[in-house]
Amino acid sequence: MRYLPLDASDREAMLARIGVPDISALFADIPADKRIEGLLDMPLAKSEMAVEREMAAIAGRSLAAGSVPFFLGAGAYRRHIPATVDHLIQRSEFLTSYTPYQPEIAQGTLQVLFEFQTQVAALTGMEVANASMYDGSTACGEAMLMAHRLTRRGRAVISGGLHPQYADVCATLARMAGDAIVRLPPDLTASEDIAAAIDGATSCVIVQSPDFFGNPRDLAPIAAAAHAHGALVIAVFTDPVALGALRSPGEMDADIAVGEGQGIGNALSFGGPYLGLFATRARNVRQMPGRLAGETVDAAGRRSFVLTLSTREQHIRRDKATSNICTNSGLCALAFSIHLTLLGAAGLRRLANVNHANAVRLAERLAAIPGVEVVNSHFFNEFTLRTPRPAAALIEALAERGVIGGLPVSRLLPGAGLDDCIVVASTETNSEDDRAAFARALADCLG
């Protein structure tokens, strides 16, 4: 049997059939500068030992989060994850199972999802949560589309405090759906007037708290303004631990709460897989995307679990489904649930307090350096520094001194006039030594 069954004439026939001139036309959606033309510049063969040696040398050039003082956040957070979490999620019943397509036979999986949903609903102050989405940004985009279905309007107002990558995902989905978005300019100090941007055509306002720059926001007045116009409020968070210290989206009258769940139970892992959290009011559940585990009783009256309201989903509703998502981040959700269960309510509050206290100590140290200013009047565990030199170069200089000092805002918001700003995060993993090393290195760079 031939291993490569297609020849040039097969390819030409297939391209002609679908009406494109050549194979490169199929990749038109990928920007040209993101494509690799020709072959990668790699040697054809090396011994296994030589490859290992070379890869180890390349890896050695990285500053790994766990090996240096690390203050990078902006949507992903380094946490201490108890060993129990890793031990339990590696049980093969959990590790090897895929999203249940014959759900009721997988009672353990469904129970895990049910417990997870219960935790997410409690954490966000909402009535119902789904079994998770892919990550915080896609959960945010799905929430926007859900608001469009609920309000039958197609214009979302996006706060200038929303994580820029979340806003980009919303913009992409809105473009594909033929909807409009109003993206307010980057809002360093939480001083934007969101209410003024809401009118009778607005489907929803998307507001992050704490926002991208670290400012906690009171959503209640925004919710009042939105609801007066028949619009919904989507509350976004990028670190679930913040909900251990701040008022929940539900308490502040949000309609949908979405966020990134990585910060509980899940490692940084170079950016994924992560865990989208998604919760809403019970009255909106029909328009919610994603899987939903429910509790019921079996024929013998025993407590059991089912996937419920599946008629919203793609495998039944096809093109009219609430979402294209037909799965969830099951293992990441399990890790989240185990970690949160180990913490308990009191433990989560204590963890949040430690995060905040560490961030306050760090901010005090850094603000004492001449020329360095902490922009925020309030923050949880993340704040923005204004520095007397361009931030991007400063972060490189800090890295040369063995400190990962945060995210230069210009990296995600180039041209926004915030080139002297760094978003700095602190978690329970940062020690007094880490803070001293950061302050020393920063003073050294600026000296």
Partner 1 sequence: MSQIRYTKEHEYVRVEGGEGVVGITEYAQQQLGDVVFAEAPPIGKALKRGDPAAVVESVKAASDVFAPVAGEVVAVNSEVESTPGLINEDALGRGWLFRIKLADPAELGALMDESAYADYLKTLG
Kindly list the residues in this chain that would bind partner 1 in the complex (CB under 8 A): 152, 286, 311, 316-317, 320
Residue 35 or 320 having the CB closest to partner 1: 320
Interatomic CA distance for residues 159 and 141, integer angstroms: 14
Smallest distance from partner 1 to CB 289, Å: 15
Name, in order, each residue with C-beta under 8 angstroms of 61's C-beta and a sequence gap of 6 or more: none
| DSSP letter string, 137-193 | HHHHHHHHHHHHHHHT--EEEE-TTS-HHHHHHHHHHHHHHT-EEEEPPP-TTS---
Which residue, 311 or 353, is less far from partner 1 as judged by CB? 311
Task: Report the nearest approach of partner 1 to the CB of residue 403 (Å).
Answer: 55
Secondary structure class of 220 (helix, strand, coil): helix
Minimum CB separation from partner 1 for residue 29, in Å?
29
Q: Which CB, 11 or 317, lies closer to partner 1?
A: 317
- Comparing CB distances to partner 1, the nearer of 13 and 316 is 316
- Cα 166–chain centre separation: 8
Instruction: State in angstroms the smallest separation of the CB of 296 from partner 1.
Output: 12
Q: Which is nearer to partner 1, 46 or 286 (CB)?
A: 286
CA 198 – CA 54 distance, rounded (Å): 56
Instruction: Provide the sign of the torsion angle of the four alpha carbons 119, 239, 245, 140, taken in this order.
Output: negative
Alpha-carbon gap, residue 136 to 217, rounded angstroms? 18
Distance, in Å, from the CA atom of 160 to the CA atom of 188, rounded to the nearest integer, reads: 8
Report the nearest approach of partner 1 to the CB of residue 102 (Å).
17
Q: At what angle do helices 136-151 and 164-177 cross, to 10 degrees?
A: 40
Q: Please, what is the minimum distance in Å from the beta carbon of residue 107 to partner 1?
A: 20
66 vs 40: CA distance, rounded Å: 31
Q: How far is the CB of 111 from partner 1 (least distance, A)?
A: 22
Tell me the helices (H) and strands (E) count for the chain, helix number first.
Answer: 13, 13
- Rank residues 317 and 389 by Cβ distance to partner 1 and give the closer one: 317
If the CB atoms of residues 61 and 320 are measured against partner 1, the closer one turns out to be 320
